Every structure is written in structure tokens, then in C-alpha cells.
Amino acid sequence: MITENINLLTAIIAVVSASACALPGVFLVLRRMTLMSDAISHAILPGIVLAFFLTHSVSSPFLIVAATATGILTVVFVELLQKTKLVKEDAAIGLTFPALFSIGVILISRYSKNIHLDIDAVLLGELAYAPLNQLDINGREIGPVALYVMGFMLVLNVVFILVFYKELKLVTFDASLAATLGFAPTLIHYGLMTLVSMTTVGAFDAVGSILVVALIVGPPATAYLMTDSLTRMLILSVIIGSINALGGYWLSILLNVSIAGTIASVTLLVFVLVFLIVPNRGLVSIARRHIRQKWEFAQTMLVIHLFNHEGLPEAQEESEIAHLHEHLRWEPSFALRVVKNALNNRYVLQEASQLMLTERGRAKAQRTLVQ
């Protein structure tokens, strides 16, 4: 087979998987339940192993059903523990998934002689092999299994969110209003958790249980910083997920390293980048706003100082540029820069060595003092 073809297929599988994972991830991020995806992705292992024992096939649809059921069971266990009020949610998650995951690990190590499930593949998956595992119908190979599975999950997630958009939004924002209006928040909750489980199981084979968490959490968390609209957050999550997948895959070829690991790293990198530079909320714009406010505030102090002494006997002394830093207890260099800014903004005029308020500066002082 031609390598380029395989590369293209791998890239498509990565993008489709990333998009499918990002969509339910948006609601997990907004409901502050992202740890649940971590729990589910690990806890489905015993489901997969048990189903494998029963069917002796890694591509049986029964595997997906059994793993999804284990995923939902995880959610039930966590919530039961939490309901006792003796254990908080994070501890409940921390207790549940290692227990279930370890059952899977023990089963694999006990019977691994005659099965080809190994723990490395479980944790990291192997995207590179995903295109090679072809779906076989009547002896004809019609494309990679992973592509069909994740394509199906993508369509299912899109349809679910399109149909129940209103309900998902209401339950996520205000579950008690949803309940009083008759929108069964528990039903929606388990619907969403079923989707998360199914998507995780589907992605498991291709990308493993760690990367799948990066795909579910990373893009929505990034998109959350960029928009104030839920619809846009959903769309952005898919776009960011796809960019991360493509960028990560390309970089992994370039560096000849693990595809899954590189995609996860790129996901983090993109998040940090957006965190720094996004307008209004990013660290850079917050820092710039602070600096601007600092200068703005200093100029306000200056005009108020001049205004308070205007027309009084001490005015001459108080408005002497060379002495300003003493009156206002500023660093001399800082005082000079503030004066320069205030002159530029026409708040003050310089007459000989003294500052005079302009009409504009006086108005500013008055406005500030009245507030």
C-alpha cells in the first residue's frame, strides 16, 4: 500500500476522533466534570477485556456495548459514593476508576498468553496502526475500522447535540430550573454520559485512554477562553481539536515520535498559547490593561492634585514640575513620564517650569471627584 495513502488515512482518523471527542467534552467542561472523562476512559478496560473473553474478537460490536456499560457503571458508582456525603466527588472518582481499571489490568496479565491486548496499547493506543485494521465485509476491505467507528460517533454526537441542544444548555446552566420545567436532568445527564462512554470506547483503540482525555478536555477548555456563546464554543472546539490532531500528527512524523503523545502535547501548547494571547481574557491583554490603568490612574491623580490647589496661595509651589514627585511621592522618572503623558493628552499645559490645568484636565478632575 502507498505510504501517503496511509498518512492521509491516519490524519483523517485523527481529525474525526478529535472532533467526536470535543463535542461532548464541551458539556463536561461547562459542568466541571472533566475528571469523569478520565475515570470513564480508564474504567472501561474491564468491560473491553470481559467482552473480549466472551467473543474472542477485538472488533466485535459487543466490545463497544460492554465497555460503554462499564463507563456508565463508573458514573453510577461515583454518584452513589458521592450521595453518601462521606466522600467528595473528586475522591469518589479517584476511588472508582483505579478499582475498575485494575480489574482490567489483572485480567489482561492473567490471561495475556492467548490474547493480544497489551497495556501499552491500552494507555497510549497506536494511531499508526489504526489504518491497517481494515473493516472486512465479504472478503473486501472497505476502510479502517477506526474511521467507521469514530465517524459513527461523530455523527451520533452531532445529531444528539443538534436535537437536544436546548435541553443540554438548560440542564448545564440551571439544572433545577430544568427539573421544574419537566426536562428530567438525570435523563439528559445519563444520555450525555453514555455518549462520553461510547466516544471514549471508540477512540480507545486508536488513541488510547490517556490521549482520549486530552481530546475531550483540551479543545473545549481552549474554546471556552475564546467565546461567550455556546454554539461558537462547540464549533471552535471541533476546529481546535482538528488543528491539534493535524498539527500533532504532522509534528510526530517530522520528529519521528509517538503520534498520540505529540497530539496531546500540541493540545496543551495550543491551550497555553490561547491562554496568553486571547483578546480581553488572555494574560497578555490583562497585563496590558493593568499597565494602561496604572498610567491612566497616575494622570488622574496629577490633575486632581493640580485641581485641589488651583487658585490657592500654594498653587505655584504645588504645580512646579520639578517638585511634583515629592508632593505625590512618586519616583522622579515616573513623575516625568506621567507629566509627559498628561501633556500629550492635553490635560495640562506647561508654563515655564509649572503645570496648568487645561479645560479638559479640569473637567477630568471634576468628573472623577463627583463619582
Partner 1 sequence: MHTQETKAIQVTDLTVAYRETPVLWDIDLDVPPGVLLSIVGPNGAGKTTLIKAILGLVRPAAGNVLIYNKPYAVQRKIVGYVPQRGSVDWDFPTNVLDVVMMGRYGALGWVRRPGKQDRELAMHAIEKVGMEKYTTRQISQLSGGQQQRVFIARALVQDATIYLMDEPFQGVDATTERTIIALLQELRENGKTVVVVHHDLQTVTDYFDWVMLLNIRRIASGPVEETFTPDNLRETYGGRIAFIKN
Cβ distance to partner 1 smaller for residue 201 or 223: 223
Report the alpha-carbon distance of residue 155 to residue 180 in Å, rounded.
31
Say whether 351 sits in a helix, a strand or coil: strand
Q: Which is nearer to partner 1, 29 or 150 (CB)?
A: 29
Name which position in 228, 314, 331, 359 contacts partner 1 (CB under 8 A).
Answer: 228
**Under rule CB under 8 A, residue 239 binds partner 1:** no
Neighbours of 98 (CB within 10 A): 14
Cα–Cα dist 189/192, whole Å: 5
Q: CA angle, corner 88, sides to 86 and 89, nearest 5?
A: 135
Element (H, E) at 137: strand 134-137
Cβ-based nearer residue to partner 1, 225 or 251: 225
Beta bridge partners of 144: 134
Report how far residue 306's alpha carbon sits from residue 246's, in angstroms, rounded to the nearest whole number.
Answer: 60
**What is the nearest approach in angstroms of partner 1 to the Cβ of residue 46?**
34
Query: Is residue 209 at the binding interface for partner 1, with CB under 8 A as the rule?
Result: no
Q: Least Å distance between CB 140 and partner 1?
A: 39
Segment interacting with partner 1 (CB under 8 A) among 8-16, 45-53, 161-169, 356-364 = 161-169
Q: CA 344: distance to chain centroid?
A: 43
**Least separation in angstroms between CB 224 and partner 1:** 7
3, 114, 138, 229: residue in contact with partner 1 (rule CB under 8 A):
229
Q: Is 110 in the site for partner 1 (CB under 8 A)?
A: no
Among the listed ranges 72-80, 168-176, 205-213, 254-262, the one in contact with partner 1 (CB under 8 A) is: 168-176
Between 182 and 311, name the residue whose CB sits nearer to partner 1.
182
Binding of partner 1 by 141 (CB under 8 A)? no
Our finding on whether 113 is near partner 1 (CB under 8 A) is no
Cα separation of 166 and 177, whole Å? 13
Could you tell me the smallest distance in angstroms from the CB atom of residue 278 to partner 1?
A: 13
Please report whether residue 166 would count as binding partner 1 according to CB under 8 A: yes
**Interface of this chain with partner 1, residues 170 to 199, rule: CB under 8 A:** 170, 172-174, 176-177, 179-183
Q: Which three cell numbers stand for residue 223?
A: 474554546
For partner 1, give the closer residue by CB, 53 or 165: 165
Among residues 6, 30, 239, 315, the one that binds partner 1 under rule CB under 8 A: 30
The answer for residues whose C-beta is within 8 angstroms of residue 247's C-beta and 6 or more apart is: 266, 270
Burial of residue 371 (CB within 10 Å: 0-12, 13-18, 19+) is exposed
Report the distance separating Cα 234 and Cα 161, nearest Å.
Answer: 10
Q: Under rule CB under 8 A, how many of the chain's residues touch partner 1?
A: 25
Closer residue to partner 1, CB minimum distance, 26 or 130: 26
Instruction: Report if residue 238 touches partner 1, rule: CB under 8 A.
Output: no
Q: Which residues contact 110 (CB under 8 A, 6 or more apart)?
A: none
User: Is residue 310 within the footprint of partner 1 (CB under 8 A)?
Assistant: no
Phi, psi of 144 (to 5 degrees): -65, 140
Using rule CB under 8 A, residue 333 touches partner 1? no
Give least dist CB 178 to partner 1, A. 8
Q: Rounded to an integer, what distance in angstroms lies between the CA atom of residue 92 and that of residue 73? A: 13
Site for partner 1 (CB under 8 A): which residue of 95, 121, 230, 301? 230
Q: In Å, how far are 79, 81, 83, 93, 100 from 86, measured between CA atoms?
A: 12, 8, 8, 13, 21
Contact 365, 304 (CB under 8 A): yes
From the list 213, 198, 188, the residue with the least C-alpha distance to 35 is 213
- Is residue 235 close enough to count as binding partner 1 by CB under 8 A? no
The helix (run of H) or strand (run of E) holding residue 343 is helix 332-344
The residue among 90 and 136 lying less far from partner 1, judged by its C-beta, is: 90
Binding part of the chain for partner 1, among 69-77, 135-143, 157-165, 288-296 by CB under 8 A, reads: 157-165
Binding residues (CB under 8 A) for partner 1: these are: 30, 163-167, 169-170, 172-174, 176-177, 179-183, 224, 227-230, 232-233
